[in-house]
Chain A
Amino acid sequence: MDKFIKMTAIVAPMDRANVDTDAIIPKQFLKSIKRSGFGPNLFDEWRYEDVGEPGQDCSNRPLRKDFVLNQPRYQGAKILLARENFGCGSSREHAPWALKDYGFDVVIAPSFADIFFNNSFKNGILPIVLDDKTVDDLFKEVFAEEGYQLTVDLEAQKLVKPNGDSIDFEVDSFRRHCLLNGLDDIGLTLQHEDEIKAYEANRKKNAPWLFGA
């Protein structure tokens, strides 16, 4: 996984609550057995006029002009600003894969669904939780100013606005460490192999019916 330290980018506003993973990446695209290539189908039903199919060339499909990511001012956005309970619904990791493949590295919202939140970190996306008022203010600023950019500094745990004002954010220290260093969870866990084996031996003794068969 690539390291995530600091970045500056255009912010795209997704101004609706409870954006679900079926909307982020519709079911027909889950048939892929790969992790990549989901970007063109991110928000497929909201983004295109027609119904998308897997494996299709999306470059000539008719776009819904009013959809936020189709507006010229948000091209190149790497930060998605969202409302409460972003990423609710299914556990499909295809949702963060699609966001990442499209180019998003950060999602800011007042709250996230638990599984999506977890899945994001594992794919180098930083989900940032800010209070309702701060998110609301950011929406107003993004709408008001074309080309609005934020700097996300994970090391300092700060967002910096175009006018220089900054907003502190919280992030789990373990997740922060993994993102800053681009660490792979499995490698980290296997450093504790002996402890897992010891736990397992004990469990086998106390609950032998859970083993074998």
Chain B
Amino acid sequence: MSGKTLYDKLWDAHVVRQEEDGTALIYIDRQLLHEVTSPQAFEGLRLAHRKPWRVDANLATPDHNVPTTDLSGGVDSIVDPISRIQVQTLGMNTKEFGITEFGMGDPRQGIVHVVGPEEGATLPGMTVVCGDSHTATHGALGALAHGIGTSEVEHVMATQCLIQKKMKNMLIKVDGELQPGVGPKDVVLAVIGVIGTAGGNGCAIEFGGQVFRDMSIEGRMTVCNMAIEAGARVGLVAVDEKTIDYVKGRPFAPKEDQWEAAVAAWQDLKSDDDAVFDKVIEIDGSKIEPQVSWGTSPEMVLDVNGKVPNPANESDPVKAGGIERALKYMGLEADMPVSEIPVDYVFIGSCTNSRIEDLRAAAEVLKGKKVASTVEQALAVPGSGLVKMQAEKEGLDKIFIEAGFEWRNPGCSMCLAMNADKLPSGKHCASTSNRNFEGRQGAGGRTHLVSPQMAAAAAVAGHFVDVRDYL
């Protein structure tokens, strides 16, 4: 019998019961909650007179709606009354049911996928769920993390279980060494460019190979975060010494008396050498170039030195139609070089790229430089209050501000523009976020997905440039 993949091991360890058709109940160790996808779940519990199965398995923080400007007024500083009600509702619900919340004004508040690992609230070997598709982020720690819908949020609160069928195993193996100036975001965008936005549908993706072994834990989070942009609900990286070092000493991590036992249990969280994957994709990491998305789907991505595609060269009529529609929406001409795309806005933030290493990488490019005069707004939005404090301790805030960036408070911000940070119609944004769908950053807005370094370089140049010329 062949060995098990990491996904097989995590799955097997959490099956409570399995039906003949493969439908299983899997036990959930941690649920993260935010204000957008939880209110209807709490309401459902209340209407059915149900209580959470295990209060201590839940942790909440508001992120999508919070303003990134002045927060001194707490929840009352939210001007939009509908956003304010949603954030207040999370506060009332968590209080009513006894769930821990890092609310506005708490330095631990931030984007749920930044907060979880930062607090040690998501750990290797756990099953993690959250009503947010970017929950795959936590797979960077060797946890089985699923993005779920609101009905499932309610189901997990009421039963501590998720109804799930086992997915297929997919391995994305990237070997070789990355070129200087090429980072985790470029790797994952290049992967999506290769396999497409539906390439991972029905699969749990494990990211393996030298590139991911060499990558920091935060870099692995950036990669796993975007597994969903490749269609996969789950992204995973095997546990190694870096994972264990990362987790050690965090507030929710196992304490001294349990630490050794936990570390021993985590040693096996990797695929066996003879494990069999249903699909394997191999990519040469040394050939990956800095990436820029040009269109309205994350698979519409190019090397920075590439040219925007021409629908005339596409034989599949559905795809050609997609390219034509995207060109029109994005206001681009077929065959134009990526470097000629102007940049009006710059957004450095989101659950993909708002951790301290992301801010350091961007600051390294910005140091001693100025944002181009044609750039109308450049935002730097740390992922949590603690990331912000750390950045300020290192003086990164000054580098951003001196370059002409606005240094903001933590939240999802312009990644999806549910708060006041919106990309105006027709404007091009170099964004470190994860989705370039039509209207994602604001109705009519034109998103280009890039790494933090590429966003910083684009801010300085006023158009897309190869960051390697800036290092």
Q: Number of B residues contacting the other chain (C-beta, 8 Å)?
A: 80
| One of A115, A192, A196 near B147 (C-beta < 8 A) | A115
User: Please, what's the 1-or-0 string for B14-42, where 1 marks a CB less than 8 Å from any CB in chain A?
Assistant: 00110101010101011000001101100
Interface residues of A in 42-64 (CB under 8 A from B): 45, 51, 54-55
Query: In the complex, A55 Cα to B82 Cα: how many Å?
Result: 9
Docked pose: A202 CA to B418 CA in angstroms: 42
Convert B76-111 into 0s and 1s, putting 1 for each residue whose CB lies closer than 8 angstroms to a CB of A.
000010110110010000000000000000000000
Contact size class for A? 35 or more
A162 to B30, CA, bound (A): 50
Partner of A189, one of B131, B135, B159: B159
With a cutoff of 8 Å between Cβ atoms, the chain A residues found around residue B27 in the complex are: 196, 199-200, 203
For residue B300, which residue of chain A has the nearest CB?
A18
Cβ of A149 < 8 Å from any Cβ of B? Answer: no
Known contacts A186-B158, A195-B17, A196-B16: A90-B133 contact under CB 8 Å: yes
Q: Does A118 contact B (CB under 8 A)?
A: yes
Cβ contact within 8 Å between B265 and A54: no
Q: Give B26's nearest chain A residue, CB to CB.
A: A199
A122-B197 contact, Cβ under 8 Å, with A174-B23, A196-B16, A208-B258:
no
Please judge, given known A-B contacts A18-B297, A207-B262, A213-B252, whether A88 and B150 are in contact too, CB under 8 Å.
no
Nearest CB of chain B from residue A2's CB, rounded to whole Å:
15
A207 to B3, CA, bound (A): 23
B325 within 8 Å of A (CB atoms): yes
Question: Which A residues are in CB contact (< 8 Å) with B202?
Answer: 114
Q: Are A85 and B197 in contact (CB under 8 A)?
A: yes
In the complex, the answer to whether A93 meets B150 with C-beta atoms within 8 Å is yes
Q: How far is the CA of A189 from the CA of B439 in the complex (A)?
A: 38
Is the beta-carbon distance between B132 and A91 smaller than 8 angstroms? yes
Is A103's beta carbon under 8 Å from chain B?
no
- Asked if A119 is an interface residue, CB under 8 A from chain B, the answer is yes
A89 touches B (CB below 8 Å): yes
Contact in complex: B56, A213 (CB < 8 Å): yes
Residues A4-52 near B (CB distance < 8 A): 16-18, 20, 22-23, 26-28, 30-35, 45, 51
Contact residues in A for B160 (Cβ distance below 8 Å): 196, 200
Write out the residue numbers on chain B whose beta carbons fall within 8 Å of the beta carbon of A51. 443
Residue of A nearest to B88 (CB): A33
- Cβ distance A175 to chain B, nearest Cβ, rounded Å: 8
B16, B29, B198: the one contacting A192 at CB < 8 Å is: B16
- Give min CB distance, A15 to chain B, whole Å: 8
List residues of chain B with CB within 8 A of the CB of A45.
438-439, 443
Contact between B82 and A31 (Cβ–Cβ < 8 Å)? yes
CB-defined contacts of B46 to chain A, threshold 8 Å: none
Among A22, A122, A209, contact of B437 (Cβ-Cβ < 8 Å): A22
Chain A residues with Cβ below 8 Å from B165 are 172
B154, A186: Cβ atoms closer than 8 Å: yes
Stretch with Cβ within 8 A of A (4 or more), from B276-284, B305-313, B316-324, B363-371: B316-324
Cα–Cα distance between A81 and B148 once the two chains are bound (Å): 24
Instruction: Identify which of residues 339-384 in chain B touch chain A, using a CB-to-CB cut-off of 8 Å.
Output: none
Are A196's CB and B159's CB within 8 A? yes
A113: contacting residue among B126, B148, B231, B417, CB under 8 A: B231
- Is B48 on the interface with A (CB-CB < 8 A)? yes
Residue in chain A with minimal CB distance to B321: A16
Q: How far is the CB of A20 from chain B (nearest CB, A)?
A: 5
Give the distance to chain A from B239, nearest Cβ to Cβ, in Å.
Answer: 14
* Pair A16/B438 contact, Cβ less than 8 Å: no
Instruction: Check if B40 sits within 8 Å of A34, measured CB to CB.
Output: yes
Task: For the complex formed, measure the closest distance between the CB of B450 and the CB atoms of chain A, giving whole angstroms.
Answer: 19
For window 90-134 of A, CB contacts with B under 8 Å fall at: 90-93, 96, 111-115, 118-119, 122-123
Query: How distant is the Cα of A30 from the Cα of B158 in the complex, in angstroms?
Result: 23
User: Cβ of A207 and Cβ of B131 under 8 Å apart?
Assistant: no
Chain A residues with CB below 8 A from B385, complex form: none
A93 touches B438 (CB 8 A): no
Task: Chain B residues near A91: list those with CB within 8 A.
Answer: 37, 131-133, 135, 147-149
CA distance A88 to B39 in the complex (A): 23
Is B210 among interface residues, defined by CB-CB distance under 8 A? Answer: no
Complex formed: what's the CA distance from A91 to B132 in Å?
Answer: 5
| A185 to B37 Cα, complex, angstroms | 18
Residues of A within 8 A of B254 (CB): 209
Complex-state Cα separation, A198 to B390, whole angstroms: 43
Are A35 and B133 in contact (CB-based, < 8 A)? no
B161: chain A residues within 8 A (beta carbon): 189, 196
| Residue ID in chain A nearest B146 by CB atoms | A115
Q: What is the bound-complex CA distance between A104 and B141, given in angstroms?
A: 40
Known contacts A30-B418, A54-B82; A111/B198 CB under 8 A: yes
Kindly provide the distance from the CB of B368 to the nearest chain A CB, expressed in whole angstroms: 37
Shortest A121–chain B CB gap in Å is 9
The 6 closest A-B pairs by CB, nearest first: A209-B254, A33-B39, A119-B149, A93-B149, A122-B151, A85-B198
| Besides A31-B83, A91-B148, A118-B152, 7 new A-B residue pairs in contact (Cβ under 8 A), listed by A number | A33-B40, A113-B201, A172-B23, A185-B155, A209-B258, A210-B30, A212-B56
Q: Pick 26 A–B contacts, CB within 8 A, sort by A.
A: A16-B321, A17-B318, A20-B435, A22-B416, A31-B65, A31-B80, A33-B40, A33-B86, A35-B43, A51-B443, A88-B231, A92-B36, A118-B148, A122-B149, A172-B165, A186-B158, A189-B155, A189-B159, A189-B163, A190-B158, A196-B27, A196-B159, A200-B54, A203-B29, A209-B262, A210-B29
Interface residues of B (CB under 8 A from A): 16-17, 19, 21, 23, 25, 27, 29-30, 36-37, 39-40, 43, 48, 50, 53-54, 56, 64-65, 80, 82-83, 85-86, 89, 123, 125-126, 131-133, 135, 147-152, 154-155, 158-161, 163, 165, 167, 197-198, 201-202, 228, 231-233, 252-255, 258, 261-262, 265, 297, 318-319, 321-322, 325, 416-418, 435, 437-440, 443
